Amino acid sequence: SSRRHWLVTQAAAQLHYAFAATGRFIGSVAPSDSVANAAASLLFLFNLLLCGFFVAPDDLSPAWRFLARLLPASAGYEALVIHEFADQTELYLTSKVGSTKYRSSPLTGEAVLRCFGFDVHRWFGDHIRLVLFSLAADCAACIGMVVFAHERR
């Protein structure tokens, strides 16, 4: 539906803005371009590893799950996945063993999301988290620019 496409686009744009705001903050406090690049790369790696793409959120230990909830990618990935799958009514698991192809009975998108630890009712909170994270990172970048206003590069 067009509403779903709008929400996917909105989540992707919010995630992009959150990463850009984080980059602005890192750039404002880093003593050099190489330090800023290294710090941003490490932060992006943590975002990628903890967002739910490689490991389901329910499979993370409580400490890692708490850290993941603080990162923008977990909210962005969850929102994107929910918007893509929640309205699907006929999803199938397929497998091929030798020349025989097996297909499961139809699954709903909500059932698949629950299997991977995503809550379909949390999407609005994910959008709010992305906006709040972006605002906090932009405010931190402004403070960083004021405190570290001298150019050293």
Q: Three-class SS of residue 143? A: helix
pLDDT at 18: 93
Measured in degrees and rounded to the nearest 5, phi and psi for residue 92 equal -130, 145
Q: Which residues of the chain have pLDDT under 70?
A: 149-153
CA distance 9 to 89: 22
pLDDT at 153: 53
pLDDT at residue 56, as a whole number: 84
pTM of the model as a whole:
0.80
Q: What does the pLDDT read at residue 131? A: 94
Q: What is the pLDDT of residue 151?
A: 55
pLDDT of residue 150: 56
